[in-house]
Amino acid sequence: MDLNWSPEELAFEAEVKDFLDTELTPELRRAGTLSTSVYPDHHASMAWQEILRKKGWAAPHWAAEHGGTDWSVAQHYIWNRERIAAGAPALSPMGISMVAYVIMKFGTPEQQTFFLPRILSGEIFFCQGYSEPGSGSDLASLQTSAVEDGGDLIVNGQKVWTTHANEANWIFALVRTSKEGRPQQGITFVLIDMTTPGVELRPFTMTSGEQIQNAVFFTDVRVPQVNVMGQIGQGWGVAKYLLEFERGGQAYGPALKIRADQIAAHAAATIGDDGAPLIDDPVFAAKLARARIRADVLEITELRLLSSASDGGSVGALSSMMKIMGTELAGTLTELAVEAAGPYGTVYQPHATMPGGDVPGYTPPADGYVAGEEWHALAPLRYLNERAGPIYAGSNEIQRNIIAKMVLGL
Q: Which among 82, 210, 246, 386 is annotated as catalytic? A: 246
Cα(312)–Cα(156) distance, rounded to whole angstroms?
Answer: 43
Residues 209, 185 contacting (CB under 8 angstroms)? no
H or E element at residue 127: strand 126-129
Residues 339, 284 contacting (CB under 8 angstroms)? yes
Residues 71, 392 contacting (CB under 8 angstroms)? no
Q: Is 154 helix (H, G, I), strand (E, B) or coil?
A: strand
Please confirm, yes or no, whether 328 is among the known catalytic residues: no
**Torsion angle defined by CA atoms of residues 385, 393, 168 and 214, in that order, rounded to the nearest 10 degrees:** -50
Cα(222)–Cα(199) distance, rounded to whole angstroms?
Answer: 10
Structure letter (DSSP) for residue 225 = G
Cα(345)–Cα(340) distance, rounded to whole angstroms?
Answer: 8
Residues 233, 185 contacting (CB under 8 angstroms)? yes
Structure letter (DSSP) for residue 388 = T
Phi, psi of 12 (to 5 degrees): -65, -40
Residues marked active site are found at 246
